[in-house]
Structure 1
Amino acid sequence: MKGDPVSSLFSSSAATAGSHGDGAHGAGAHSAEGRDPLALAPADRAWVDARLASLSTEEKVGQLFVLSSIGDDIEEIARHCALGVGGVHRFPGHDLEKAWAATHAVFERSAVPPLVSGDIEGGSLSHFYASPVPNQLGLAAANDLALSRAMARVIASESRAMGFNWTFSPVVDINANFRNPVVGTRSYGSQVDTIIAQARVLIEELQAQGIAASAKHWPGDGYDDRDQHLVTTVNPLSMAAWEAGFGRIYRAMIESGVMAVMSAHIALPDYIRARDPDAGREAFRPASLSRALNLDLLRGELGFRGLIVSDATAMGGLNSWCDRAEAVPAVIENGCDVFLFSRDGAGDKRLMLDGLRKGWLSEARLEAAVEKVLCLKARLGLHRRTPEDLLPPIATAREALRRPENLALAEAANQRAITLVKDTQALLPLDPLRQRRVVVMVEEGWNFVSGALPRECETFLDELRARGFEVRLYDAETPPSRADADLLIYLIGQEATPAIAQIHIDWIKLHGGSRKAMLRFNTALPTLMVSLGQPYYLFDAPEIATYVNGYSGIASVQRGVVARLVGEAPFTGVSPVDPFCGLEQARY
């Protein structure tokens, strides 16, 4: 596209892939040591051995934990660091200086160089002070690996400027079941080849800049209707089907040198039953507690030599399986190297030590897990980096964030993803001369994650008004009609988020009552629907004849959607999933 700012920003990306940072940071290239992503130089290996030998049993147990920091509470971080944790996961707030100070406290108060992790997934999870980048489904819809690589460089450079050295991404789940509520916009879609290609780019660029990547959610999400945050979910595939999908994906991630894999609260019963046909309930043991899935399948059969981190241990999918006193040591004993999150860090550390004393956690597994943690730190060069390299001064960080070229790239990427799914009524382009009076019905959605970008629709409304449309919000007491409106727009803003339970249009809430939920305006009034989140709302609204997926509710997407609705720019997105949900009815 002529004048496209993206082209000039990453035209040489293929030639420079993996060229960032020094040798301590690079993990894109395969070593001669057998694709070991944590392979170390002799001096770094010596540091690991010396550190491991110097730690007391209690200090080793502390290194197993990565605890979450909600907001920028330095007192909370002090409590975590006093436990000698291996790392802190940051959910920063919206104030850059407070966020920087909180991360600085992690480094300042840790006796062993700490891992500082984040859920760096883009979309509404973009940090408030960073460039608002597309979520994974949006990147897949943009359908341009060079663009994805350029965005990955922005993500890596801005994340490193704020002290992150580990991210729990990419999500490599297969968005196969449109009813799955938590994969959705966090995934690269339903095609295995697309998932592999996009995830490789992110892994290469992140790890080239000293940020460890994590492929998740082992052994694979996207087929169950449910969310592992609420219940132990099930990967229902036969092992032949699993090998053709998730097996290919995880082997490709391992080949790409991914440093970590996140073991989730998801069962893979076909693998267990192949080993024990009478497994019964054990077939549904979550991977986070499964020696068979972590040590036999992931490490043994797939050959993964990096670090295995559990998914968050406060989630229902873990805690519904067994008592907490049993679960805490079992996470490590059954193959995870890092115990992620806790509602009571001190209490869970005591349970880990109790499990060690009772023999529920073996000395061998404790040693192996702590060694992996230290190897990851050494592979990232944390023990050799200066304090300012671990976390640049606030002025330096501010200069690295939201640079004009990064914002321009993110704006272009977000807008390139926007997908026209259908316009069977030939409604577009909109014109204020024909459709001057516009009623907008808004469902902004919400996000479970602390620190997520604020949800708003004012950008969309302002963009319409700037083009001469008279815009008002839907009033349930005076529903729109031909007499007072020329166009009705449904604006749905729900991205995938934990604990949402299901994807659906809440007609009762949207229309303002249970009886009004049955109203349908499309036969009386030109109507279109825009999703600024999940791509599957045609399942509940197949009668909507004009439908657009924007994948994220951030402001640049809203601006881009309006520009395309009025014909100022073309729709270029390619849907990474079936937006018709397998329904012929939804195509018309």
Structure 2
Amino acid sequence: MVDLRGNPFYLDEAGERWVKETEAAMTPHEKVCQLFADPLMGKSREELIQFLEEYPLGAIPFRAALYGNEEAQDIMAELQERAKIPYLYAGNCESGPNGALKGGTLVASGAQVRATRDARYAYEVGRITGSETSAVGYNWTFGPVGDIYGNWRNSLINTRAYGSDPQFVSDCVEAYNKGCMEFGVVPCLKHFPGDGWEERDQHLAISNNGLTCEEWDETYGKIYQTAIDHGVLSIMAAHFTLPAYQKKLNPQLEERDMQPACLSRELIGGLLRGRLGFHGLVVTDQTKMMGYYGMSRFDAVPLSIACGCDMILGINDIEEDVEA
């Protein structure tokens, strides 16, 4: 069991009691539904209410821009009032609240922050994200990006990462987290175990981080360990392999059997939960990416949970996913 009084939750007695009593009162169906996060795009207010009454998800990466901020605020508040367990409302706000809100401020991409060589601008991204999104009803953000710009051919990370210096990336991660948390918006550090080593795109294929264990410890490992020690509440597990650590933690594992982090007992249970000591929420990256499909989805969804993830991002068919 997770120590709810310790890092990263630090609940008081009343908070811990609420968690345990709430969990004890949940049906198996409610517990399964809590494992899923989905934007539920294209649904009207009435359709959202109806869907969530039948399938009470744990989180909604809500797209306020599709409704307009005022209408979105009203919908989110109504859904929250109806919820037995409060929803996590997430925005993909690594560059600012423009990632969730209509007219939200684009503060700075990772590349723009690294051009300033000053981590306080990452703090401003987090602070403005927290300020604007919390006003609409958000309490979670899929950011910051803890990846390292190590391969110029990587078209995803070259504009999103804070740079190639692990210490500066770590400083920016901590600054962004601080800014968000000032407004009660929980950061989600991504993309574990780390993008930027190669150029493959996890949206299209399983990707890889080819560092040795020692190299990873001195780079990505320091970024994650610092964030964990400072109490980061959530981390996103990506569709990347990390062969050196997977082999170290399971010497019997053949390369052909290695799975990406969100499907790897070695990387989630062994490295992230075990060696790094993370006890917060682990959410998969979007499971509609092709990098997730090294096996059938019916097998992959429960395996992600068994490996140590707490939440599946993305629903394919809700009946099939819940049945899985």
TM over 0.5: yes
- The answer to whether the 8 Å contact 2:180/2:187 transfers is yes
Q: Which residue of 2 aligns with 1:332?
A: 305
Q: Decide which of 130, 142, 158 is 2:132's aligned counterpart.
A: 158
1:327-406 equivalences in 2 (<5 Å): 327-351=300-324
Offset at residue 282 of structure 1 (A): 5.0
- 1 CA distance for matches of 2:196 and 2:259? 18
For residues 260 and 131 of structure 2, the distance between their equivalents in structure 1, rounded to whole angstroms, comes to 35
Q: Which residue of 1 aligns with 2:58?
A: 86
Q: 2:178 aligns to what?
A: 204
CA contact (8 A) 1:71 1:93 kept: no
- Cα distance in 1, alignment partners of residues 31 and 5 from structure 2: 28
**Local SS of the residue matching 2:190:** strand
Q: Whole-Å Cα distance in 2 between the matches of residues 105 and 343 of structure 1?
A: 25
Code of the residue aligned with 1:93 in structure 2: it is A
Aligned residue for 1:216, secondary structure, equals strand
- Does the CA contact (< 8 Å) of 2:249 and 2:266 recur in 1? no
Q: How does 1:135-534 map to 2 (within 5 A)?
A: 135-277=109-251, 279-282=253-256, 284-319=258-293, 321-351=294-324
TM-score scaled by length of structure 1:
0.52
The code of the aligned residue for 2:18 comes to W
Aligned-pair identity (%): 34
Amino acid at match of 1:327: A
Is structure 2 residue 94 aligned with structure 1 residue 121?
yes
Aligned equivalents of 1:211, 1:247: Cα separation in 2: 24
Matched, 1:104 2:77: yes
Tell me the distance in 2 between the aligned counterparts of 1:188 and 1:300: 27
Separation in 2, partners of 1:182, 1:73? 32
Residues 138 and 267 of structure 1, relative CA distance in 2, 3 Å threshold:
same
Post-superposition Cα deviations, 1:29-88, rounded to whole Å, max 9, x if no partner, equal: xxx999601121000000001001100111111111111133674355335413011121
Q: Which stretches in structure 2 are left out of the alignment for 5+ residues?
A: none
Letter in 2 for 1:255: D
Q: Distance in 1 between the 2:47 and 2:114 partners?
A: 37
Instruction: Describe the superposition over 1:277-308 as per-residue Cα deviations: whole angstroms up to 9, x where unpaired.
Output: 45224553111011111111111111111111
Q: Which deviations, in whole Å up to 9, do the C-alpha atoms of 1:523-569 show, x marking residues without a partner?
A: xxxxxxxxxxxxxxxxxxxxxxxxxxxxxxxxxxxxxxxxxxxxxxx
CA spacing shift, 1:213–1:256, aligned 2, 3 Å: same
Whichever residue aligns with residue 60 of structure 1, its letter is K
Give distance in 2, aligned partners of 1:126 and 1:330.
Answer: 30
Do 2:189 and 2:236's aligned partners in 1 also have CA atoms closer than 8 Å? yes
Structure 1 residues 71 and 193: alpha-carbon distance in aligned structure 2, compared to 1, 3 A threshold = farther
- Counterpart in the other structure of 2:16: 45
Cα–Cα, structure 1 residues 79 and 350, in superposed 2: closer, same or farther, change >3 Å?
A: farther
* C-alpha distance 303-193 of structure 1, shift in aligned 2 (>3 A): same
Distance apart, 1:210 and its partner CA:
1.0
Counterparts of 2:33 and 2:56 in 1: how far apart (Å)? 5
Asked if structure 1 preserves the Cα contact closer than 8 Å seen for 2:150 and 2:197, the reply is yes
**Given that residues 263 and 304 in structure 2 are in contact (C-alpha distance below 8 angstroms), is that contact kept between their aligned partners in structure 1?**
yes
Q: What is the aligned partner in structure 2 of residue 74 from structure 1?
A: 45
Match of 1:64 in 2: 35
Q: Distance in 1 between matches of 2:217 and 2:257?
A: 18
**Preserved CA contact (<8 Å) 2:39 2:61:** yes
CA gap 1:147/1:276 in 2 versus in 1, 3 angstroms: closer
Whole-angstrom distance in 2 between the partners of 1:79 and 1:232 = 36
CA distance in 2, matches of 1:146, 1:255: 20
With over 3 angstroms needed to count, the CA separation of the structure-2 counterparts of 1:210 and 1:72, relative to structure 1, is farther
**Partner deviation per Cα, 1:250-278 (whole Å, 9 max, x = no partner):** 11111221101111111111112224445
CA contact (8 A) 1:121 1:135 kept: yes
Post-superposition offset of 1:106:
3.1
| Local SS of the residue matching 2:266 | helix
Tell me by how many angstroms 1:145 deviates: 3.0
The Cα shift of 1:92 comes to 2.6
Structure with more relative contact order (C-alpha pairs < 8 Å, separation 6 or more) = 1
Contact 1:235 1:266 in 2 (8 A): yes
Describe the shift of the 1:137–1:98 C-alpha distance in structure 2 as closer, same or farther (beyond 3 A): same
Question: Following superposition of structure 1 onto structure 2, how do residues 534-573 of structure 1 map, counting pairs within 5 Å?
Answer: none
| 1:406-457 deviation per Cα after TM superposition (whole angstroms, max 9, x unaligned) | xxxxxxxxxxxxxxxxxxxxxxxxxxxxxxxxxxxxxxxxxxxxxxxxxxxx
TM-score using structure 2 length: 0.91
Q: Secondary structure at the match of 2:162?
A: coil
Q: Secondary structure at the match of 1:213?
A: strand
Q: How far does residue 209 in structure 1 lie from its aligned partner after superposition?
A: 1.8
Does the aligned pair in 2 maintain the 1:219–1:266 contact within 8 Å? yes
| Secondary structure of the structure 2 residue equivalent to 1:156 | helix
Shift in Å at residue 132 of structure 1?
Answer: 2.4
Q: Are residues 46 and 33 of structure 1, via their aligned partners in 2, closer, same or farther at CA, if it must alter by over 3 Å?
A: closer
Q: 1:191 to 1:163 in 2, by over 3 A?
A: same
Cα deviation digits, residues 470-519 of structure 1 (max 9, x gap): xxxxxxxxxxxxxxxxxxxxxxxxxxxxxxxxxxxxxxxxxxxxxxxxxx
Q: CA deviation at 1:211?
A: 1.1
SS of match in other structure, 2:204 = coil
Alignment partners' CA distance in 2, 1:79 and 1:221: 38
Structure 1 residues 350, 283: CA separation in 2 closer, same or farther (over 3 Å shift)?
Answer: closer
**Aligned mates of 1:67, 1:158 — CA distance in 2:** 22
Distance 1:254 1:84, change over 3 A: same
CA contact (8 A) 1:218 1:264 kept: yes
* Worse-superposed segment, 281-290 or 49-58: 281-290
CA contact (8 A) 1:266 1:286 kept: yes
Of stretches 37-46 and 116-125 in structure 1, the one that deviates more from structure 2 is 116-125
Q: Deviations over 1:339-366 (max 9, x none)?
A: 1111222321122xxxxxxxxxxxxxxx
Contact 2:37 2:314 in 1 (8 A): yes
Amino acid in structure 2 at the alignment position of 1:47: W
